Amino acid sequence: LREKLVLASSSPRRSEILQRAGWPHEIMVAGIDETVFPGEDAATYVQRLARSKAEAVAAKLDQGLVLGADTTVVVDNQILGQPTDDADARRMLDLLNARWHEVLTGVALVRVGGATRVAYETTRVRFAEMSAKEIDWYISTREPFGKAGAYGIQGKASLLIEEIQGDYFNIMGLPIRLVYELSV
């Protein structure tokens, strides 16, 4: 049985992945600045944010194991965060249209008063060719909002994704196998 975690995230998808894996957890949200530093690459960025989230929550606790995670989408060395509006979602989906991109999730496990372990997972994803009408439809579902790269593979975007290479759960926002490996 896995030790109970404190999940430093408001993501319902991360909580659901832990729940489905039978991993007991509670949620404590860490409000941190998620600005990308100038010249910062995606792997450094997601690991820094995962660690910052976990450390911010761990600082409020007397004991326990805190999990922080952060996911981003990268295409042409460009980090795609969450879309701010319809036009931004369209811009991102146009960039991803009929192309491969990478999804990176940084994971940090912080033992209150003890060790910190940080790593990241990368998964490659390829969208099918989408018409303007399909992109408009997808944006109209409102699903792109609150998601890095303007899509959620576990939802309606599954109709638009042709191929993945790597960890499916990483695309959802939590590479559960990596979390397990860091925890043992």
Does 70 qualify as catalytic in the annotation? yes
Exactly one of 70, 85, 86, 136 is catalytic; name it: 70
Give residues with Cβ within 8 angstroms of 144, minimum separation 6. Answer: 83, 89, 92, 93, 138, 150, 151, 152, 157
Q: Do 99 and 127 touch, CB atoms closer than 8 A?
A: yes
Pairing of strands 100-111, 78-80: unpaired
Of the candidates 52, 94, 43, the residue with the CA atom closest to the CA atom of residue 72:
43
Positions marked active-site:
70
